[in-house]
Structure 1
Amino acid sequence: MASVAPYNQPHAAFTHALGVEVLGASKNFGAFRALDKVSIKVAPGTIHALLGENGAGKSTLVKGLVGYGLLDEGQITADGREAKIASPRDAQALGIGMVYQHFTLATGLSVEENLLLATGRLSWRIDWKRERAALSEFMRSMPFSLPLEAPVAGLAAGEKQKLEILKQLYLRQRFLILDEPTSVLTPQEADEVLGLMRDLTTRGQLTVLMITHKFREVMAYADDVTVLRKGRQVGTTAVAQTSRDQLAAWMMGTSVATVANAQTDAAASAAPVLAEIKVERAARKPLDPQAPVRLELRNVSVEDDRGHTAVRDASLTVRAGEILGLAGVSGNGQKELVEALVGQRRPVAGEMRVKGESYRATRAEMTSRRVFAIPEEPLKNACVAGMSVAENLALRDFDRAPVCRGGWRLDRRAMRERAAQRIRDFNVRPPAPDRMIGTLSGGNVQRAVLARELGQAVDVLIVANPVFGLDFASVADIHARLIAARDAGAAVLLVSEDLDELLELADRITVMAEGRLVFETPAQDAERAVLGQHMAGHVEEHAHPAAADVVAA
């Protein structure tokens, strides 16, 4: 087996960043046009951000670059020369690699074994002495490194992301596509990884095309940004010449501008939209510190599907008219805690209380105490895709008036009439009660769930990642409705992996790490760096009060 040369070997072609340009890219899937004459130029040695909602065409575009989906029309050039990319091997030969949103590592192997597997050229007998020497030399040439002998299963999320990047660099890739590279990282890990990418691009060793939905990362790390919407290129600009408001306008579709005049038009159209959102948030009812406690957990522990303790001794309170934000990296017990609160999983210890009374999350208790929930992935966890919108809106109370007559008969006319009213109130599109809910877009499925859960008086609302994967306009609408529920007196527990969302919406923020609630702070006093340290478990327990201590105080 041939060894891979060290990354900083002089005069090797792969030590220079690769410039890539796509001209007039188009792709159809039957009658659906996923890409419509998109052109994007990624200069060598830069980070170029690619923004767009789900279905905007981002994945279709990058699949064309890595050889997993041929474009119907368009031209790709690499280093100024036309390139035909018909397979992943073609992309790799050009020096184009991709780091996917979810890890593709062999967790039962070590760092060095994963790096060797990435080459795809393993012989039946490995010369470990030679390979380790080559890997050690490679690691010394990198601005970051990992212990070669370390088992992948024991790596933190940020270290796993670094290993995914190291795999591509070990393959001598000169152009990396990063797909939501920080979605499973703490803020510190995200800044570290993106800072490393910034270092490599500045040194001229790498070019990066970064798919993201986080404006902060675009403004802090990217040189240029392109926004796609519904398969079309809405705008491209240098980051230094744009703003969050402008990018928001492009993503919302409030300004479909040409590349030449996009900056002025988009900024003008974004201002009233974002100003309205900001005014609404600023006008919230003040938090009443003496408001009654609506939801309380006392030393609650919950097991996961394997019988392991996923939530350990969790204690928290949420008052009427308050949003408590629960922060944490995915997989730290948030999912199991939410499932316990909505009756999908039984706690193994501790007590849950709603409005001062013991609560076991039965359907009868949720109904009588007006506990409602908006789970993550609503089409999967809160709807029946093959049933109509009207039927899904009746899942809560199909056995009660006005939907049920005489204790047993379903009044479909009353069900459709009520559904039509809630569809209007919550702006569900299309406004068709008899349409199968599984045919709606993600944002409209979420609006339909909101219509069901918030279409009546609410005392407790449990929300998990409510806007994941939704377009900017849907995000703004759903956030506004959560604030309205809070202002109407609901106690809202908002579980989110997006710190920006929690910092915008929550009154208090508590952090969950390794199944424990480890830190709590008023949102107005929250510091991103401090939250990130607790999310990563990097703070000694005695350094900050635990959530339970803060609540008790």
Structure 2
Amino acid sequence: MEELLKVRNLTKRFGAVAANDGVSLDVRKGEVHCLFGENGAGKSTLSACLYGYYRADSGEIVFKGKTAELNSPADALRLGIGMVHQHFVLVSNFTVLENIIVGSSDVGVFLNKSEARRKVVALCQECGIDIDLDREIWQLSVGEQQWVEILKALYFGAELLILDEPTAVLTPQQSDQLFRIISGMRSRGLSIILISHKLREVMQSDRVTILRKGKVVATVETAGSTAESITALMVGHKVTKHVRDRSVMPAGEFLSLRNVCAKGDWSEDVLKDVSFDIAKHEVLGLAGVAGNGQKELFEVLMGVRAASSGGFSLDGEAIVAPTSREMLDRGVGFVPDDRFLEGLIPEFGTAENLVLGWQRAPEYRRGPFLDRRKLGLLARKKIEEFRVVTASADLPVERLSGGNAQRVILAREFLHARGLLLANQPTRGLDVAASEFVCEKILEKRAAGFAVLLASEELDDLMRLCDRIAVIFKGRIMGIVRPEETSLLDLGMMMAGDAKEPERTVQ
């Protein structure tokens, strides 16, 4: 097959750290080429260099046989390199058509909208995308916004499309549709660089380049490989998938919610009569596409957001108008979905972040000041226990990879939690090895008698970790099912608003 892109000995450093160290790879015309590696392996840095966000310190990028000078994304777009980001770059009150064509050379003093529409309609037909071009972005589902990003890149003439974690917020059905679209683009000669940590998606590529600590470990043909062999190449050893111990049976109700309703930031209804129980020794999964009330539910349970009606009890005691301080004092551990915005103070080191929320506790103080010696000892212990990769306990956590930052949060919350663990997207954006570490720690808490509420968009994780799974859609629980009695298709349908039949629902 004809080579579209060649990367030769590309190196990009940030200070003393080599994010990419002599990376070489090639992408063929009409292939799906996956970049796979642990958090911090250099995938995002490499894609940023290919799209002009970063300028490589050394090495060569050859596109369509010519050396490419990429000083900005505009340079990449002019060459025919497009990128769809994990967090969409769209204008919410613009229409689909306006978002696609904004910034293109077609937009001058006068805009020929009919010609632009004709071109976009043709792209939709070629790719099998069905979308209303006159709807505004805020009216679209997350999956539809993904199609807009793809159409925008194709409208600009992309021949190589970089997809960064494209299914992070999609239902299983939407993910399947995305890969059907990718297959259609591939058949018409478009090349795809896919960045994903989901093995199911990795195995749908033609070839996989595995990165480890900024270097290329190998490039393999997917057809001749297995998910296990690719994962072993990534981490350097076999990764064990953890599953819940079915011999440990849930017993003794610990958290009970009854008809909980809550308002959003704009006084809209975000939680609607949410009811469920979680027992000790139980993991209750919460499945749903992002933005369907998961975040607000956790905020209610942590005393950050007030319930407008209904309530909940903890270990048999009714909780009335709780504060975050009260919930922490009651032994509730909380892993938020945005680790840097809500879980950590990025400018602080690991030591300080380990005692956030407990900085006034006597065991961490010497008079009016923090006891730096005790903090240092605690940090070194937890860094070793949770295998946090950091130069020192004082290094700002903003300089850690996502997986290592998440380990710091887990270390803190597991240290102080006593009976209930609330984990909202704890493996989001993590590689396979880091995800399995998180899963292992969650199951340890289950075995110790904790009640765990685990929200995740990784349905495979929910199926193997959870005793039951509750599906939330537009703030309402569509049903609660047992993993052994349901399928990913069932979960996907419920996530899209199809309520589970009563006889299959377990309360």
Q: Same fold (TM over 0.5)?
A: yes
Q: Which amino acid aligns with 2:257?
A: L
CA deviation digits over 1:222-243, x for unaligned, max 9? Answer: 1111111221111110111112
| 2:279 equivalent to 1:319 | yes
**1:64–1:454: structure 2 CA closer, same or farther, 3 Å change rule?**
closer
Partner of 1:243: 226
Partner of 1:496: 456
Q: How does 1:131-146 map to 2 (within 5 A)?
A: 131-146=116-131
What's the CA shift for 1:468?
A: 2.6
**1:140–1:398: structure 2 CA closer, same or farther, 3 Å change rule?**
closer
**How large is the Cα RMSD of the aligned pairs?**
3.0
With 414-423 and 463-472 compared, the bigger mean Cα shift is at 414-423
CA deviation digits over 1:309-343, x for unaligned, max 9? Answer: 22111111111100001011111111111111112
**1:286–1:23: structure 2 CA closer, same or farther, 3 Å change rule?**
same
Taking the aligned partners of 2:469 and 2:339, their CA distance within structure 1 comes to 24
SS at match of 2:267: coil
Runs of 5+ consecutive residues of structure 1 not aligned to the other structure: 1-15, 255-268
SS at match of 1:19: strand
| 2:113 equivalent to 1:153 | no
Partner of 2:506: 550
Number of positions where the alignment pairs a residue of Structure 1 with one of Structure 2? 506
Runs of 5+ consecutive residues of structure 2 not aligned to the other structure: none
SS at match of 1:353: strand
What's the CA shift for 1:246?
A: 1.9
Q: Which amino acid aligns with 2:506?
A: V
SS at match of 1:455: helix
SS at match of 2:92: coil
Q: Which amino acid aligns with 2:210?
A: V
CA deviation digits over 1:190-223, x for unaligned, max 9? Answer: 110111111221x23311111111110111x211
Q: Which amino acid aligns with 2:148?
A: L
Taking the aligned partners of 1:38 and 1:317, their CA distance within structure 2 comes to 51
With 47-56 and 392-401 compared, the bigger mean Cα shift is at 392-401
State whether residues 197 and 432 of structure 2, in contact with CA within 8 Å, keep that contact through their aligned partners in structure 1: no
**1:420–1:226: structure 2 CA closer, same or farther, 3 Å change rule?**
closer
**1:411–1:147: structure 2 CA closer, same or farther, 3 Å change rule?**
closer
CA deviation digits over 1:19-52, x for unaligned, max 9? Answer: 2121221122333222111111111111111112
With 350-359 and 87-96 compared, the bigger mean Cα shift is at 87-96
SS at match of 2:102: helix
**1:546–1:413: structure 2 CA closer, same or farther, 3 Å change rule?**
farther
With 436-445 and 326-335 compared, the bigger mean Cα shift is at 436-445
Partner of 1:465: 425
Partner of 2:194: 210
Q: Which amino acid aligns with 2:268?
A: H
State whether residues 25 and 38 of structure 1, in contact with CA within 8 Å, keep that contact through their aligned partners in structure 2: yes
State whether residues 518 and 545 of structure 1, in contact with CA within 8 Å, keep that contact through their aligned partners in structure 2: no
**1:370–1:91: structure 2 CA closer, same or farther, 3 Å change rule?**
closer
Taking the aligned partners of 1:518 and 1:531, their CA distance within structure 2 comes to 10
Aligned partner (choices 84, 104, 107) of residue 122 of structure 1: 107
What's the CA shift for 1:386?
A: 5.0
Taking the aligned partners of 2:159 and 2:55, their CA distance within structure 1 comes to 21
Partner of 1:286: 247
Q: Which amino acid aligns with 1:222?
A: S
What's the CA shift for 1:379?
A: 4.3
Partner of 1:340: 300
Aligned partner (choices 338, 342, 358) of residue 381 of structure 1: 342
Taking the aligned partners of 2:471 and 2:11, their CA distance within structure 1 comes to 44
Partner of 1:73: 58
Taking the aligned partners of 1:472 and 1:536, their CA distance within structure 2 comes to 27
Taking the aligned partners of 1:319 and 1:486, their CA distance within structure 2 comes to 10
State whether residues 375 and 465 of structure 1, in contact with CA within 8 Å, keep that contact through their aligned partners in structure 2: yes
Taking the aligned partners of 2:303 and 2:479, their CA distance within structure 1 comes to 26
Q: Which amino acid aligns with 1:352?
A: F
Q: How does 1:353-432 map to 2 (within 5 A)?
A: 353-359=313-319, 360-362=321-323, 365-366=326-327, 369-387=330-348, 389-400=350-361, 402-403=363-364, 417=377, 421-429=381-389
Taking the aligned partners of 1:343 and 1:302, their CA distance within structure 2 comes to 12
Superposition TM-score, scaled by structure 1 size: 0.83
Taking the aligned partners of 2:145 and 2:108, their CA distance within structure 1 comes to 26
Partner of 1:230: 213
State whether residues 321 and 490 of structure 1, in contact with CA within 8 Å, keep that contact through their aligned partners in structure 2: yes
Partner of 2:39: 54
Greater Rg, structure 1 or structure 2?
1
What's the CA shift for 1:83?
A: 3.6
Q: How does 1:23-34 map to 2 (within 5 A)?
A: 23-34=8-19
Superposition TM-score, scaled by structure 2 size: 0.90
Q: How does 1:245-260 map to 2 (within 5 A)?
A: 245-252=228-235, 254=236
